[in-house]
Structure 1
Amino acid sequence: MTRRLLLTYVSFALLILVSLEVPLGYVYHRNEEQHAFAQLEHDAEVLAAFIDTALSRDDAEQVDLLAHESGQRLGGDVDVVDSRGELLSSTHPEKHPPGDLARAADIRTVLSGEGRISTRTAESGGVDVMSVAVPIHPGVSSLGAVRVSVPLDPVDSRIHRFWLILAGAGIAVLLAAALVAFWLARWISKPVRALELATRHLADGTLPPAAAPAGPPELRRLADTFYATANRIQALIRTQHAFIGHASHQLKTPLSALRLRMENLEDDISPAGAKNLQAALTEADRLGQMVETLLLMARSEQRELPLEEVDLPAAVAERVFLWSPLADDRRVGLSTSGPDGTWIRALPGGTDQILDNLIANALRVAPAGSTVTIGWAVRDDRVELHVVDEGPGLSPEERVRALDPFWRAPGAAKDGTGLGLSLVHKLAEAGGGDVALEAAPGGGVDAVVTFAGLGQHVQQAAGTRQ
């Protein structure tokens, strides 16, 4: 941002300098040329007056002397012609063949009476010159004309020197403007950089202390509002985490005591009430599972949790063994497939929780006689776990919403909490992975969990699979 502001300010200053200095340079150029011609015109008229006096006395030597002295004083050339354009005197007669001056446009203009003074710029001998032609006697063109020519180098030198002065002044002003612009850009962008840093820290779960007020008032007010909002959000998050953790922890003890008391009632309950007691125990177990899930979700939202190395095939085999009785009771098969020696990184206990929730969801929707397939595959440095059921499946919108906490599919069984897939999502992300629900090829849902693999073990597993 500082560079962009600096570039904007310097570009604006450069535009102002160019718009001011270029017209000023051209005005000086024109005025300098006009002043040079006016001065040369004055010198030519003075010389013409002296020559007029010398011609009135028929003093040709005096005319030559005046012409050469003036040419030497002005650093140029002087030509004197009569009324026919014939050369009377010149500081460089060898340059003018007979009749050459009579054909010159400026002298012809004066001799013909079309103009009292004729000025021009031309090139003579490879040198740019300026010349002025005036009549010898003012108002009487029949007496002849005087032309004075001087090089343009002195005028050009003054003009170039002025352009250099303008350029130097412009560079100095531009440097000063750049320094001021840099200070302004730093001053304006300082609170923006502080807000950027604070936003980055806030995304990581921390917030640096508010910096000293700096920058424009609008940005200071924005920074104050941001810090107040960020502190409020952090306070709400801490309160939420504390509430979930405390509430879940406080519920565990009375739930355990309640279940123990209900189990102790089995001998005192008549056979007719045994079914209701068993239902109450099931609900207590479900409530206890919800409490454990809430605790695990609260812990998974912490930022720096250690990861453990997990033998995925062994973890799958253990969970399949534990879920087999329920699967047999529902007449649903459990099958596994994947390369041996596949190791992953996950939160401690997170892999078992992920497998339990995915298998429980699959068994809940799988029809009798179907199979739930648990498979895993190696994809570069990642490992994908697939839990595929043959249930009714979900629409694309429902597959996206299924990862939200407490969301349940329409017509789902009442024994669920709506937290299972949300917990799977949080555990996978906390371990550096991800979760996606896809449509299974034969209907149903393919729950795909991506884990971070261990380089050496992943390569060995990929080689075994090939």
Structure 2
Amino acid sequence: MRRRLVVVFLVPLVAILLSLGGATAWSATRSIQQAFYTEQLGDLGYFVTSARQALRSGSATVIDAEVTRFHEVYGIDVVVFDLSGGTWAAGGGSDVVPDDDAERVGLALSGRRAEAPEPVFPWGAAESSLVEPVFDDGDVIGAVMLSADVEAPRTRILQQILVLTLVSIAAIGLGVLLVFQLARWVLSPVRRLDEAMIAIERGEMDTRVAEDTGPPELRRMTRVFNGMADEIERVMTRQQEFALNASHELRNPLNALLLRVEHLSTGLGDDWKDDVEETREEGRRMARILETLLGLARGGRADTTMSAVDLSTLAARRADAWREVASQRRIRMHSPGAGAVMSITDRTIVESALDAVIDNAVKFSPADSVVEVDAHRVGGRCVLTVRDRGPGLTREQAANAAERFWRSDDSGDVPGSGLGLAIATDLLESVGGELHVDSPEDGGLLVSLVLPDGAEG
């Protein structure tokens, strides 16, 4: 917006300054040329009078000395022609007359007076010549041609153009400075709005903009913005209160459930030992999720606990945890569990993100298919992958799959809100990770959870 405003102000300003500078330069050029022409006419008038007397007397001695001296002092050539067109007296110049000058001499001998020269650019001509007929009692008896070098007026004109150019450049520079200051002043309320929006994006929900500054149009925008910020703050506060209350309400039933599991486990045989341990682990994981939720509700972000995590082991455990749910849909969970893949990350966040992806894969996989959960290292990063054999997505659909509330047109009656992959994406971003959705050529969907690398142990 600032660029457009500067262009709107600056282009007309520069055009006006250039037009004024060009007009002034042309006027100065015409003025100097006019002064030079007037001076030539004065000199020409003097020599016409002297030539009339010399031509009457038939002696060229006096006029010859005058034109010679005039050439020596001023460097201007004066040539006197008789009625036949022959050179009668010349002051230091050549007797050969150029064709253009010869034509004008002929016109002057026919009685035609000299005309004002057309305006030319200073570099357009090297010499200026004027021819005036010499009359005696109304009859033409000769002609006088005066030829002067235009170097002096050309120098003055170029000096004037140089001065005007420097003044124009200075004026344009001052204009540019004023335009930028004007644009800054006009856009200052918009800039304050922009800074306030950035502050709110950083989590400073109490940021507001003064409503009594700026033009009336922007004051209304400021009031609307402050109202919107108030509403967002109220919504965020209600969400935090809800998450806080829900976390507190769930903590007691969860603790009671874990105690009930411990009590029941005392009456079970060794055959139930693995199932009891898995139940305990799921309960502890739910407790960690609740703690994360409490951190989000209190401070607006989770207090991540970064540690070395073996993603290969994590993938195998989460595959085992989903095995019972998947088997109800006749889907097999498979995790190769090759070597250790260590990453410095938050275990709870990664588990939650992986669960969201596995839930999506199980939901859309057909019966008697396999969902593969694996971990490996690619370059300097660790990757958790979930591969299903569902209907898959096109490349365009895969690019949108991680957006909130996005669902494929082919999802049909499959339950869901379109938030699973979006939640997984947000969780991974909080620990510096990424989520990629790809459509393999042989069908299904490949979701990759990319995490920072860590030392093997």
TM-score (norm 2): 0.70
Over the matched positions of the two proteins, sequence identity in percent amounts to: 27
What pairs with 1:406-421 in structure 2 (closer than 5 Å)?
411=413
Hey, what's the Cα distance between the residues in 2 that align with 1:256 and 1:100? 117
1:20 aligns with 2:20: yes
Say whether the 8 Å CA contact 2:308–2:454 is kept in structure 1.
no
Structure 1 window deviating more from structure 2 (60-69 vs 74-83): it is 60-69
> Could you say which residue in structure 1 is the equivalent of 2:268?
none
**Cα gap change, 1:90/1:347 in structure 2, threshold over 3 Å: closer, same or farther?**
same
In structure 1, stretches of 5+ residues that fail to align are 122-126, 262-288, 461-466
Distance, in Å, in 2 between the alignment partners of 1:399 and 1:92 is: 90
Q: Would you say the 8 A contact 2:357–2:447 is kept in 1? A: no
Deviations 1:28-85 (Å, cap 9, x if unpaired)?
3334334432432243224323442454455654434554565567552222232123
2:433–2:452 Cα contact (<8 Å) kept:
no
CA distance in 1, matches of 2:60, 2:428: 115
CA distance in 2, matches of 1:442, 1:351: 28
CA 1:298–1:225: 2 relative to 1, 3 Å = farther
Q: Normalization by structure 1: what TM-score? A: 0.69
Secondary structure at the aligned position of 2:203 is classed as: coil
Alignment check: 8 A CA contact 1:47 1:70 kept:
no
Mapping for residues 117-196 of structure 1, pairs under 5 Å: 117=114, 128-137=126-135, 140-196=138-194
| 3-state secondary structure, aligned to 1:341 | coil
Counterpart CA distance in 2 for 1:176 and 1:218 is 29
Structure 1 residue 133: Cα displacement:
1.9
The answer to whether the Cα contact below 8 Å between 2:400 and 2:406 also exists between their aligned partners in 1 is: no
Measured in 2, the distance between the counterparts of 1:229 and 1:343 equals 45
Match of 1:116 in 2: 113
Q: 1:105 to 1:254 in 2, by over 3 A?
A: same
Does 2:242 correspond to 1:243?
Answer: yes
Q: Which residue in 2 is equivalent to 1:286? A: none
Q: Secondary structure at the match of 1:385?
A: strand
Does 2:236 correspond to 1:234? no
Q: Residues 357 and 421 of structure 1 are in contact (CA less than 8 Å); yes or no, is this contact kept in structure 2? A: yes
Q: Relative to 1, partners in 2 of residues 1:159 and 1:216: Cα closer, same or farther, differing over 3 Å?
A: farther
Task: Report the counterpart of residue 198 of structure 1 in structure 2.
Answer: 196
Counterpart residue type for residue 16 of structure 1: I
- Give the distance between the partners of 2:435 and 2:13, measured in 1 at CA: 55
Change (3 A) 1:245 1:27: same
Paired position in structure 2 for 1:273: none
Q: Please give the secondary structure, in 2, of the residue aligned with 1:84.
A: coil
| Cα deviations by residue, 1:179-203 (Å, 9 ceiling, x for unpaired) | 2123223323444444444333333
| Unpaired runs of at least 5, structure 2 | 119-124, 261-284
C-alpha separation in 1, matches of 2:149 and 2:82: 25
Q: 1: CA distance between counterparts of 2:34 and 2:417?
A: 97
CA 345–393 in structure 1, closer or farther in 2 if over 3 Å, else same: farther
Give the secondary structure class of the aligned counterpart of 1:337: coil
Give the Cα separation in 2 of the matches to 1:140 and 1:73.
33
Pairwise CA distance, 1:221? 4.7
How far 1:328 sits from its partner (Å)? Answer: 7.4
- How do 1:205-354 and structure 2 match up within 5 A? 205-206=203-204, 209-210=207-208, 218-219=217-218, 221-250=220-249, 253=252, 302-303=300-301, 305-306=303-304, 307-319=306-318, 333-354=332-353
| Residue 4 of structure 1, CA deviation | 6.9
Deviation at 1:386, TM superposition (A): 3.5
Please give the alpha-carbon distance, in whole angstroms, between the structure 2 residues aligned to 1:205 and 1:319. Answer: 33
Distance in structure 2 (CA, Å) of the matches to 1:359 and 1:117:
102
User: Secondary structure of the residue that 1:80 maps to in structure 2?
Assistant: strand
CA distance in 2, matches of 1:101, 1:322: 109
Equivalents in 2 of 1:118, 1:439: separation in Å?
88
Match of 1:282 in 2: none
C-alpha displacement of 1:152: 1.5
2:281 maps to none
| Counterpart Cα distance in 2 of 1:57 and 1:436 | 111
Residues 389-400 of structure 1: matches in 2 within 5 Å?
A: none
Q: Is 1:78 matched up with 2:78?
A: yes
Give how far 1:342 is off. Answer: 1.0
Q: Residues 184-237 of structure 1: CA distance to partner in whole angstroms, max 9, x if unpaired?
A: 233234444444443333333235844667665545554454344234323312
